[in-house]
Amino acid sequence: MGSRSTRPASQNGRPGGADRADQGLGAHEQDSRSWGPSASSAPTLSPMTVTGQSLLLHDRRGSGKVPHKDDHMDPSMAMDIDSRSGGNPDSSHSTPIQRALRSLSIPLERLHVMKGHMIQDMCKGLSRQTHAHAKVRMLPTYICSTPNGTEKGNFLVVELCQTQVRTLLVTLYGDGNLSPQMMYKIYDLPEGITQGEGEALFNFIAQCVTQFLSETTSPDTNSEQYLPLGFVFPFTCRQTQLNKAELLSWSKGFNCSGVVGKDVVEMLQTAIDKHAWPDKEGESSGGGGWFKGRKSSQSAPSQSRHVEVVALMNDTVGTMMTCSMEGRACEVAMVADKGSNCCFMAEAYLVETTEETSGRMCVNTEWGCFGDDGTLKDLVTPFDQAVDEESSNPGEKRFEKMVGTLYLGEIVRHVLIALTAEKAMFTGTDTAVLKEKGVFTMQHLQEIVNNEDSITEVKRILEAVGLQPSERDCGRMQQICRAVMGRAATFHATGLAAILSYMCQTRDLESLMVNVGVEGELFAGYSRFEEIVVSVSRLLAPECMATILASRDGSGRGAAMVTAVALRLAAQRRAVNEVLGPLRLSRDDLVKVQTLMRQEMDRGLGKETNPSASVRMLPTYVTHTPDGTEKGDFLALDLGGTNFRVLVVRIAEAGITMASEIYVIPVGVMQGSGEELFDHIIDCIIDFQTKQNLVAQMLPLGFTFSFPCQQVGLDKALLLTWTKGFSASGCVGQDVVQLLRDAAKRKRHLGMQVVALVNDTVGTMMACGYDDPKCEIGLIVGTGTNACYMEEMKNVGTVEGDQGRMCINMEWGAFGDNGCLDHLFTHFDLVVDETTINPGKQRFEKLISGMYLGEIVRQILVVMTEKELLFQGKPCPKLQTKDIFKTKFLSTIELNGLALRQIRTILNELELDASFEDCVLMREVCQTVSLRAAQLCAAGLAAVVEKMRESRGVDQLSVTVGVDGTLYKLHPCFSNNLQMTLKDLAPKCNVTFMLSEDGSGKGAALVAAVADRAAKAKE
């Protein structure tokens, strides 16, 4: 086995002999004992540089005109026109060289079409339905973050190249990744191993790792070190995790048996684990003889280390990662090498082939196969067709065969063959050498194109391969090479423009500024590649501004970056799970809540146990739901805050119509005497009836009174206490219905008759019950939460009578006030509870309702910031402000498809300097809190429907729940999470949910209507 020496390297280099994964070293390889300059050290132009608009873009609209240079065209950007051309516009009279050059030039409008096709194919590749048939595969890499500069530690990298295995040890110092230290070694692949058994290949790679560690580390230092390994595997895989990838097919001359369809990460890990412990002295197991004769002491250092393969990637992803430094994220990478590829950070929810929906994920486009479906048929020249037919995979990777440096020399060769056949070049000389594949290398093309003024250099190269060129032949050779390489750069620019426009559109941006990491032989060796890519991509995607960054060893240093980021995110994930874990409820947790709720319901219904029950189960004396026969005009009074409403509800066969008006209660009245308060209310009712021409009628009135009461009859309820800023004297302990009636007498108002006092939850049930007779449950999930349902009278021990049913107002917000839910309360819940005006009270409500969810999230964010999981651990003074994080922010942040930029805007309004990673984590926090709320609500509701089913003695219950409340209505996920959980916890109940329309107004009037109907029936 041949190897090269190992020594530290600066961050700017890579071993000169270590090629791309698909490139052999060849006889001209550098001595790897020294580090050469970066292969990607091409000069960087300003991203705004557009030095001309006619590079390979001149008119080809079917006119057949030969393009001409004009005075305004940058000569370095214009296609050269043969000086001997007669300029005849008729293509039939064009010279062969003109026709050849024209076939290699692409008009701008055709590039726009090509860009559009690329975007269409990208969308196909991302879609779950069309992915299998897409030519641009859009493979998820499971890399969801770029380096942030804090990565540090030692990282192993193994790169499988075409003829070698390269091993590196990279040390990062958390300094913005500005000065990593690297040690490397290159091992030649044994002859025949690329065609042998897969197990032998992975055993050899494992031996390289073992040997590398034995020679680069001291046995008495860091002997217990854990070493994470990044594996650069340049073959097409179906990746399902960062460290799990199934090989789809071999290429680049590899055809090892027993690997296709297998997880290559697992195969490498198995081989590494096996070789860490020798079977017998001096020989590692399964070595295939490659390392026989080595002393066992050489492997000793690796035996005490745990090497774990934590990430698999291709070189394109590594290129992107190595260009990302602190304060300078790189989100696109392009490799322009023997092969061609591009990757970029896509919005994760668009990558339908994965389950990930938050943040972004790097997608490996595998765009080399673009055009295999015929999309590029009109761009494929006879020269491209000849190259394709001679390749090992005809009809495949058509795009790559027009842009990859492995093929550019062959395209030039076939152009020369065609021109020679037409006697346009090498006339009267021996051209047999042109029949030999590989006669022109990329190095030849580079030397010709990069020395445009030197005919002597072109002649030297042509003579060196065995041709006898004339001066005209040399000039035409320059033109051909420029056209072929210029077209390759232009196609790269078109693909890049497609990706940039797609990123801009899917991020909902008007303009996009992005860094693009680039690496590869074409980029490094063609002096005008960057200029062309920037100019053409700017023409095709004017809304996007790309800054080209030269990558430094993407397959080595970049792979270490991927591994380092993976470890950083894994550590962050463990810390996040530790924080959020207590809020994540298992099914067993929810079943226990359901059981406890049922127990508290039974206690609340029992005459003896009611006083000590945390769920009060208050009788409402509403014994019927609407049956559709209700008719007439009814008043409703909705009193629940500083504003109150008066409504008239007209019920007819055609439906329900309503009119209402809002009135204000002055603070002095709220805090004055009870007489003043109720007199003010009656004055407002008189004003409303006057405006509606209803003064002469005596209308039944339903009174929604949203304050704690003890209801002792349908139209009788004793006020227990004022809330919401009210403190009117002489009311607590009194019947509020009678207080309203007394005020009407004082005002001598006879236009109303209070027939029912209603809780808003009951009103919600009744409002929906008019449209759906099966609606027998009411649910409020908004600022607060509560539920009611129709219970069998025989179960209501607090009211006399066993016949029929009565609506029970559960007042379930107080569930758990007796301590039965203490096991669910997290540190965050306890802090929130302690800072409320009623600590220890309404504990179930404080886990569910909109009044508290935002504050729970804020408490979590404070802790995560302290643990340096958010905002880089920087203090956020505004985050210390109570109630600064409103529950409405949860609804906005959790919207499906909401761009991270929009989340960032929300957080910036709160003076929170959030990165995109922060936004992803913020969304997870919000999802965790809202999911728990929905699940707990579902557990409570499951207890209700199961009790109804059992009480009615049916195997299957069908019932409708009338729902109201902003959390249920406006939160994007709450309703679905609640319904899914309920279905799981109560499988024998078929529950339908109906959104209520104005339960406290329309519902109160319907309660009055039902009461009026019942009274008339008795008469």
Distance in angstroms (rounded) separating the CA atoms of residues 329 and 543:
19
Structure tokens at 100: 């050849």
| Number of C-beta neighbours around residue 919 at 10 A | 24
Structure tokens at 902: 């929009």
SS3 775: strand
- The phi, psi pair for 249, rounded to 5°, reads -165, 150
Structure tokens at 219: 């046995």
> Do residues 661 and 691 touch, judged by C-beta distance below 8 A?
yes
* Nearest to 901, CA basis, from 886, 892, 859: 892
* Nearest to 196, CA basis, from 112, 131, 244, 254: 254
Examine the residue annotation and report whether 305 is marked as an active-site residue of this protein. Answer: no
What's CA 452's distance to the chain center, in Å?
Answer: 48
Structure tokens at 142: 């499971």
CA distances from 979 to 393, 617, 891, 894 (A): 53, 23, 17, 18
Distance in angstroms (rounded) separating the CA atoms of residues 915 and 926:
16
**Of residues 706, 849, 930, 996, which has the active-site annotation?**
706
SS3 785: strand
- First vs last Cα of the chain: how many Å apart? 107
Structure tokens at 391: 């390749």
Is residue 376 within a helix (H) or strand (E), and if so which, with residue range?
none
Residue with tokens 């190269």: 461
Distance in angstroms (rounded) separating the CA atoms of residues 321 and 147:
7
**Of residues 398, 413, 645, 858, which has the active-site annotation?**
645
> Do residues 304 and 212 touch, judged by C-beta distance below 8 A?
no
SS3 404: coil
Residue type, 483: A
Examine the residue annotation and report whether 257 is marked as an active-site residue of this protein. Answer: no
Examine the residue annotation and report whether 760 is marked as an active-site residue of this protein. Answer: yes
Distance in angstroms (rounded) separating the CA atoms of residues 429 and 150:
63
> Do residues 619 and 795 touch, judged by C-beta distance below 8 A?
no
SS3 946: helix
> Measured on CA atoms in the order 971, 972, 975, 977, is the torsion positive or negative?
negative
Residue type, 913: D
* Nearest to 869, CA basis, from 176, 148, 356: 148
For helices 96-103 and 471-506, give the axis angle rounded to 10 degrees: 20
Instruction: Indicate the Cα dihedral angle 536, 541, 547, 548, nearest 10°.
Output: -40
Structure tokens at 84: 């001997």
DSSP string, 540-567: H-TTEEEEEEE-S-IIIIIHHHHHHHHH
SS3 311: strand
733 CB-near residues (< 8 Å, 6+ apart):
718, 719
Residue type, 216: T
* Nearest to 915, CA basis, from 927, 928, 901: 901
**Of residues 22, 473, 553, 760, which has the active-site annotation?**
760
Structure tokens at 672: 């004055």
Helices (H) and strands (E) in the chain, counts: 29, 27
| Number of C-beta neighbours around residue 238 at 10 A | 15
Residue type, 816: G
| Number of C-beta neighbours around residue 83 at 10 A | 8
Distance in angstroms (rounded) separating the CA atoms of residues 7 and 13:
12
Strand order through the sheet with 512-519: 139-140, 360-364, 340-347, 332-336, 512-519, 544-550
Catalytic residue numbers? 645, 706, 760
